[in-house]
Structure 1
Amino acid sequence: MAEPEAVADDLDALIDDLDYLPGHFHLEMQLNFEPPSPTPQRARDLKLQREGLRQELELAAAPQRPAVRHLLGAFAFYLEELDEARERFLEVAHEHPGNLNAWANLAHVYGRLGQEEEEEACAARLAGLMGLAGEPEAAGDPQLRAARCLAEQGYAHGFDVGCVSPEKRARGLAAGIALYDKALGYGQQIPVEEKRGWYFTMATLYIRLDGILLELGSEEQKRLPAFNRTLALLQQVLKSEDPHHRALAWCYLGMLLERKDTFSTTPMGIHDCGYSGTDPLDCFGKAIEIAKNQPPILNRLAKIFHFLGKQDMAIGTCNMALDALRDPELNWQAYCTRAKIHIRTYLHDLERAKMGLGGMPDRNHLACAKADLEEVVRVCPGFRTYLDIGQVYYYMGVDAVQELLAVDEAALNQALVFLAKAGESELGAALPELQLLRGKCLRIKGEDANAAACFKRAVELDDA
């Protein structure tokens, strides 16, 4: 067996000849283009994205978990949490010894830690798995290892941070899809159910990409091929054994069918896949039916319905999740989503009232949101819940016309208490919206100097 140092040197020489390169730290993602020392805004964005990824890990099917763990490790690396990054990659390497990205990412972390011996050992292990540098090829199908490596990299592009323009976001999503396509080329022998998981992620990336193209006003001919392919991918996902994938596939299908009117003529993919005349509401209904009695899936659907502006459907889905699991410690997501729906509805009606387009907003929405958030604060408080309940108390404390008069001094004080608790966390303290809300509370209370300081801090955080 070759010495580790020789293997590492030979690997550098062979890289240019490779059709793919394992690891996440070379990918053309904004994550890798930023300076290595995190700025406050970058650290905030990474932590927020990591929070969402941890929830993804809870729902992820077993074959997809390595992809999530790799991203968690990459985020920890850029947050200078090198021990955490190493542990995440080691988790994957121990559970899946043939995972190429795990050994490549570990080598990168050990290099940053200055542990040359461990770095070289990881490089040697990677070389063996890839059959490089004269190493005997490891047992197992190298094509499958390559396919999974590429699919994990494609998954990462859906969670990039720092893409400030829609054009950059679109390029990143397209790059992720291209990596999945390459993975499919290598992965002819990938198990069918695992491949359906890839199709699901590809469809998700395509739907997000189509949303950006719509936002940019792109010509429909530019959107059409991807739109038709997304329908075909979802058709395959609907055959999945995973109820999470199947339920969300029906939901995504409903979203696509609602977008068909953005084309001058019905996309041919709708007819090819057998969805001519299919009502989007029927698709949403099938998604809910599959998810019934499964709170994690119902909560995911509720968030999507909330995002789509289907608030009645979102509330109903939250209620189903809570009927199945009432405990706020185990099902806090349903309480939080339902509260957000009530807050959004109140704010929508408030803006209409300010413009003279409607009557006074129904303050019962605030009472409902408060009740839900208090359930969560009681058992598992977090900065986001503190921020949300602080917002509710602010609106309870001001007039429902122009937000200029205090109508409940105690509510305003309670808002400030919760906002202070939110600010105790490093992540909460970095959010400009928290400082903005504190400033609004203090302005209503007549504390203009304190309010001005909060507004100034909000601007500084936004520009950081």
Structure 2
Amino acid sequence: MTVLRYSALKRPEVSPRISSSHVSQKLQSLNSVKFEDTEAWRAAADLPVGHFQLQLLTNRGPIVEVTANYKRMVLEDYLQRKQNRPERHAIRHLLGVLAFAQDRDVPDRARERFEFILSEDPDNLNAKANLAYVNGTAAPPYDEPDLTSEASKQQHARRFAEQGYAYMFELFDETKTCDRYEKGLDLYNRAMELAGDLVDHTEKEDWQFCIGLASYKILRILATGGDGGQRAQSLLESASGNFRAIVDSPHADNAIKSEAWLQFALTLKKGSEMGLHGRANIAPEHCLDRALELAPDDSLKARILARQAHFTFKTDRNEGFRRARALLDSSIDFDNSSLNFHAYSLRAEICIKQYRRSKNIALITRAKDDLEFILQQHVSPWDFERLAEAYLYLAKSSIGEESRDYIRKGLETCTKCEGCQDGAGRSILHHVRGQILCLNGQHQEAMESFQIGIACEENTGWISGNVGALAEERRHVERQYNR
């Protein structure tokens, strides 16, 4: 008899005695269902129940407090938005796992999350397993999943969806790898195949949105790596199709339609940049306009305005700068918290790019302030990278102790960037660090940094100017040597 792997304490497994009549009944049950149902049965039997046996970064640790605290704040905000939607259980599961990871000696916060889920959904498989884990007791034994009833199919489909949500939204540093989105997409697809036609429209919309989002995230990462082909086209169609289904639904509410329009816009824009051809026949800019029209609150409006600013600046880097700045200022007026980190990050990015053209140091001061604010709570390698670049320009524009202080801050920020997931492989990081080291008179170390950057460029195909910088630094050293 196959026993579902519950996230309980790890104990030796003991195989129970199985009677021949029991085996016969199970074989008859399997023979009475379609092949697709048999595949679903195998998946339900093979995958662990609960969240504590999943390969989550939150389970493996170590836990970085600043990242964990920010993730908890984001999830609490999600929960407030989704409190009347089925997805609220998936969010509470992840909050419970995060609470337990942060403080295993005091599991009350985690326990409360799982108990609350069971108060609303007494048959929730993940909640039973998760509660048993934090209580330090073995989960109740379960026989093979019976997927012959609609209720059981829904039960196991929800298990898959809740786990898929955990992979997609768990504690993580920004990364260029697809793994967590691949796992999330697989689990949501399993849920949809098993019970997509059995659950009500709100639950199906939640699943469709996450399938679309995972498809878009993978597509975006493939674009960064220069990959494309048939897989990219399939992902574009998956994302577009699921977002389109939501925005066209007569039952979906304005909140999820607005979010779907927003993600639909990003998907179409990315597909266009990759030279892919979708079937939507709609402009990404129109999707953003529709998203803004339907946005039910200031926080969502802020996110949409930030994306409009991004589109505007990418379309026209000259005249688009002023309009993008105005949109970002409006976005931050709607939501000036670190939850709106994208607006702060983008404003800093375009200020730095505009500084390279105008040499207006006030733009760098603005960028520095924005980045220092969001990095207190939201950590990403590219924001550390941009902050290090801002410190570089400030060091160049100042003298004496002030300049040395910016150099020190710049090098410390490069180290923080390198410590992020995938941070060490970013060629721009090593280019910025090399320039700071050069400014500090550490020319040998600067050349070594540029050489590492060249290796990263060769690995990723992302050219960041390290070859030219290394050649210039060598000429610099030769001139000093020949004096």
Normalization by structure 1: what TM-score? 0.63
1:59 aligns with 2:63: no
Q: Which residue of 1 is the match for residue 94 of structure 2? A: 71
Amino acid at match of 1:52: K
Within a 5 Å distance, the mapping from 1:150-299 to structure 2 comes to 150-159=160-169, 169-184=177-192, 185-238=194-247, 239=249, 241-261=252-272, 266-267=277-278, 270=279, 275-276=280-281, 278-291=282-295, 294-299=297-302
Q: What is the alpha-carbon distance in structure 1 between the residues aligned to residue 48 and residue 292 of structure 2?
A: 40
Q: Which residue of 1 is the match for residue 353 of structure 2? A: 348
Q: Which residue of 1 is the match for residue 50 of structure 2? A: 23
User: What is the CA-CA distance between 1:196 and the residue it aligns to?
Assistant: 0.7
Is the 1:416–1:441 Cα contact (8 Å) retained in structure 2?
A: no
Q: Secondary structure at the match of 1:82?
A: coil
Cα distance change on mapping 1:304 and 1:412 into 2, 3 Å: farther
CA RMSD of aligned residues (A): 5.3
- Encode CA deviations 1:187-233: one digit per residue, 9 max, x unaligned: 53322122111111111100011123334444522322332222221
Q: What is the alpha-carbon distance in structure 2 between the residues aligned to residue 429 and residue 222 of structure 1?
A: 31
Within a 5 Å distance, the mapping from 1:96-115 to structure 2 comes to 96=118, 97-110=122-135, 115=136
Is the 1:302–1:318 Cα contact (8 Å) retained in structure 2?
A: yes
Q: Secondary structure at the match of 2:197?
A: coil
Q: Which residue of 1 is the match for residue 3 of structure 2? A: none
Q: Secondary structure at the match of 1:23?
A: coil
Unaligned runs of 5+ in 2: 1-7, 19-25, 27-40, 315-319, 424-428, 450-483
- Encode CA deviations 1:150-189: one digit per residue, 9 max, x unaligned: 10111122246789996xx434423322211221223533
Q: Secondary structure at the match of 2:244?
A: helix
Q: Which residue of 1 is the match for residue 459 of structure 2? A: none
Q: What is the alpha-carbon distance in structure 1 between the residues aligned to residue 90 and residue 276 of structure 2?
A: 38
Q: What is the alpha-carbon distance in structure 1 between the residues aligned to residue 288 and residue 207 of structure 2?
A: 22
Amino acid at match of 2:214: L
1:95 aligns with 2:98: no
Q: What is the alpha-carbon distance in structure 1 between the residues aligned to residue 436 and residue 270 of structure 2?
A: 44
Amino acid at match of 2:213: T
Cα distance change on mapping 1:87 and 1:229 into 2, 3 Å: same
Unaligned runs of 5+ in 1: 133-139, 354-358, 401-405, 456-464
Q: What is the alpha-carbon distance in structure 2 between the residues aligned to residue 381 and residue 214 of structure 1?
A: 29
Q: 1:362 aligns with which of 360, 363, 367?
A: 360
Q: What is the alpha-carbon distance in structure 1 between the residues aligned to residue 283 and residue 258 of structure 2?
A: 16
Is the 1:143–1:187 Cα contact (8 Å) retained in structure 2?
A: no
User: What is the CA-CA distance between 1:344 and the residue it aligns to?
Assistant: 1.4
Q: 1:149 aligns with which of 159, 171, 174?
A: 159
User: What is the CA-CA distance between 1:409 and the residue it aligns to?
Assistant: 4.8
Percent identical residues: 19
Cα distance change on mapping 1:396 and 1:151 into 2, 3 Å: same
Is the 1:397–1:408 Cα contact (8 Å) retained in structure 2?
A: no
Cα distance change on mapping 1:392 and 1:223 into 2, 3 Å: closer
Q: What is the alpha-carbon distance in structure 2 between the residues aligned to residue 397 and residue 163 of structure 1?
A: 27
Q: What is the alpha-carbon distance in structure 2 between the residues aligned to residue 373 and residue 195 of structure 1?
A: 38
Is the 1:193–1:241 Cα contact (8 Å) retained in structure 2?
A: yes
Q: What is the alpha-carbon distance in structure 1 between the residues aligned to residue 50 and residue 245 of structure 2?
A: 29
Q: 2:330 aligns with which of 307, 320, 327?
A: 320
